[in-house]
Amino acid sequence: MRGIYTPVTMIRRQVFQKVAELGFSGDFSKVDEIPYEIIKGEVASYRESVFKERAIVAERIRLACGLSVRGADENAPISKDFQKAISTQRVFEAPLVNVIPFACNACPETAYEVTNNCRKCLAHPCTSVCPVKAVSLVDGKSVIDKEKCVKCGRCAEFCPYDAIVKYDRPCAAACGVDAIENDHFGRAVINQEKCVSCGQCLVNCPFAAIADKSQIFQLILALKEKGDIYAEIAPAFVGQFGPLATPSKVKAALIEVGFAGVYEVAIGADGVSINEAHEFLEKVPNELPFLATSCCPSWSVMAKAFIPEFAHCISDALTPMVETARMIKKEHPESRVAFIGPCASKKLEAFRRTVRSDVDFVITFEELMGIFAAKEIDFSQDSENTMEDAAATGRGFAVSGGVADAVVSCIKHQHPDMEVLVDRAEGLANCKKMLTLAKLGKRNGYLLEGMACQGGCVGGAGTLQPTKKAAAQVKKFAEDSKYKNALDK
């Protein structure tokens, strides 16, 4: 569903816009009216009941304000305990990613199903290849016994009519760490001990049943207070807000909504690439068998849990978000910093005690678009603002392979003839495969790049544009950089 504007997408973005409007208006008594503004009339459009539709929207509003999700058995308006959301110092409580229980459709888990394409053929190879005899014939048609089936897929592989199909629960299929489980009603629940907050489940659920908590409301309230707040915007921002929203216009828009200034996180990425290049040269292979990049929090958390004996092989370098935030606070000691990026996992990173003093707010591009919509930002207007001169390699961090390319570029800047072995993976399931090879000693001497999302950061859960389109725009913006390499500055 990524890159397609669906009713789920529409509702999600309407919620962010309405919450932003609420924050700017200051009239918090109207929070209970928002579900009626989004779900109008008396007839349900998407579910069996308009009341259920509004109840689900109400929970999404609570999550967008950083509050906890509730079950259907809790009888209370959105405004109950809403005072907790009205604090610009509040760090919302875990868990970050939540399933709204009564929104979940209790989709079946992975299974194989015989469709009407079955032609009752004479050969019926499906019965012959099944290792547990789970496929039988009823009136000449194949039938799969779900109790016996081990989901090996051989019946589907050998069916001459492609009559047997595999279906997955979308949220579980998108989760690379197998964190989606079931409650006693068969509804999805997230095992928070496994979850690394990549957010892929929430953008792949067709029923809008999964959402992450947001700081959009608290950030808007903070922008209305005294004191400077600086925005640091991740490299994947290019092209996210439409064809008219050039980088300079995005910077102007951020200043218009109340930020004191805007920094490219690509500048911090330049520093990270230099630091990881130095770390690789210093430690691999004498101290470490391999070095893994650290910029994606979901990847690094998963890697440390998956191969704890090699956790020390994850780079010690700060992430670009933290590197940039510390630079901002060094220049503006009394300010606060808001990171604007493509993913949910940066919210997870900002939870950390060691990071909270550096990054005060984290919102996604989708949440920022809600702010722009609430303020009726017009991107057709010209802007004289310019972005800082980040290197092409720093801006390339947003695309899969870009982090490793930046580190290698720094290494070769100092050692032109040095061969650097690189492996990279995108998507946590693929990252696990790469780590398995590293655990077996087959990636010794390598630089490993892991990205939780397909395509890299441009495929994050908080993005607005199709991944391939976004990647092309990021690469073009990088090509226009004044500096090719972080060490060229």
Q: What pLDDT, in 10s, does the model give residues 46-83?
A: 999 999 999 999 999 999 999 999 988 887 788 888 98
Nearest to 261 by CA among 232, 290, 226: 232
Q: Is 441 left (phi over 0), alpha (psi -120 to 50) or beta?
A: left
What is the pTM (predicted TM-score) of this model? 0.94
Q: Which tens digits make up the pLDDT trace of 404-435?
A: 999 999 999 999 999 999 999 999 999 999 99
Return the bridge partners of 329, or none.
Answer: none
Say which residue, 288 or 72, is predicted with more confidence. 288
484 — phi, psi (to 5°)?
A: -80, -40
Nearest to 373 by CA among 1, 24, 8: 24
Label each residue of the chain as H, E or C. Answer: CCCCCCHHHHHHHHHHHHHHHHHHHCCHHHHHHHHHHHCCCCCCCCCCCHHHHHHHHHHHHHHHCCCCCCCCCCCCCCCCCHHHHCCCCCCCCCCCEEECHHHCCCCCCCEEEECCCCCCCCCCHHHHHCCCCCEEEECCEEEECCCCCCCCCHHHHHCCCCCEEEECCHHHHHCCCCCEEECCCCCEEECCCCCCCCCHHHHHCCCCCEEECCCHHHHHHHHCCCCCEEEEECHHHCCCCCCCCCHHHHHHHHHHHCCCEEEEHHHHHHHHHHHHHHHHHHHCCCCCCCEECCCCHHHHHHHHHHCHHHHHHECCCCCHHHHHHHHHHHHCCCCEEEEEECCCHHHHHHHCCCCCCCCCEEEEHHHHHHHHHHCCCCCCCCCCCCCCCCEHHHHHHHCCCHHHHHHHHHHHHHCCCCCCEEEEEECHHHHHHHHHHHHCCCCCCEEEEEECCCCCHHHCCCCCCCHHHHHHHHHHHHHCCCECCHHHC
Crossing angle of the two packed helices 320-331 and 265-283, in degrees rounded to 10: 120
Q: Is the pLDDT of residue 184 over 80?
A: yes
- Angstrom distance (rounded) from CA 426 to CA 434: 10
**Percentage above 90 pLDDT, the chain:** 89
The whole-number average pLDDT for the span 6-17 is: 96
- In angstroms, the Cα distances linking 271 to 101, 362, 489 are 43, 21, 11
Crossing angle of the two packed helices 216-223 and 7-25, in degrees rounded to 10: 30
At residue 406, what is the residue type?
Answer: A
How many degrees, rounded to 5, is the angle at CA 139 between CA 135 and CA 145?
25
Burial class (CB in 10 A: 0-12, 13-18, 19+), 335: middle
Q: Which tens digits make up the pLDDT trace of 448-473?
A: 999 999 999 999 999 999 999 999 99
Q: How confident is the model at residue 489 (pLDDT cuts 50, 70, 90)?
A: confident
Count of CB atoms within 10 A of residue 100's CB? 25
The pLDDT, as a whole number, for residue 1 is 66
The pLDDT, as a whole number, for residue 26 is 93
Q: Is the pLDDT of residue 323 over 90?
A: yes
The pLDDT, as a whole number, for residue 383 is 76
Take residue 207 and report the two structure tokens written for it. 């029923």
Mean pLDDT of the chain, nearest integer: 95
The whole-number average pLDDT for the span 136-160 is: 96
Q: How confident is the model at residue 99 (pLDDT cuts 50, 70, 90)?
A: very high
Take residue 410 and report the two structure tokens written for it. 């720094």
Label each residue of 433-470 as H, E or C. Answer: HHHHHHHCCCCCCEEEEEECCCCCHHHCCCCCCCHHHH
Q: Which tens digits make up the pLDDT trace of 222-279?
A: 999 999 999 999 999 999 999 999 999 999 999 999 999 999 999 999 999 999 999 9
- Angstrom distance (rounded) from CA 11 to CA 60: 9
Q: Which residues of 26-57 are buried (b: 16+ CB within 10 A; e: fewer)?
A: eebeebeebbeebbeeeeeeebeebebbbbbb
Nearest to 65 by CA among 40, 82, 49, 89: 82
- Angstrom distance (rounded) from CA 245 to CA 480: 17
At residue 150, what is the residue type?
Answer: V
The whole-number average pLDDT for the span 3-19 is: 94
Q: How confident is the model at residue 19 (pLDDT cuts 50, 70, 90)?
A: very high
- Angstrom distance (rounded) from CA 175 to CA 198: 8
Strands 164-167 and 141-144: unpaired
The pLDDT, as a whole number, for residue 192 is 95
The whole-number average pLDDT for the span 115-120 is: 96
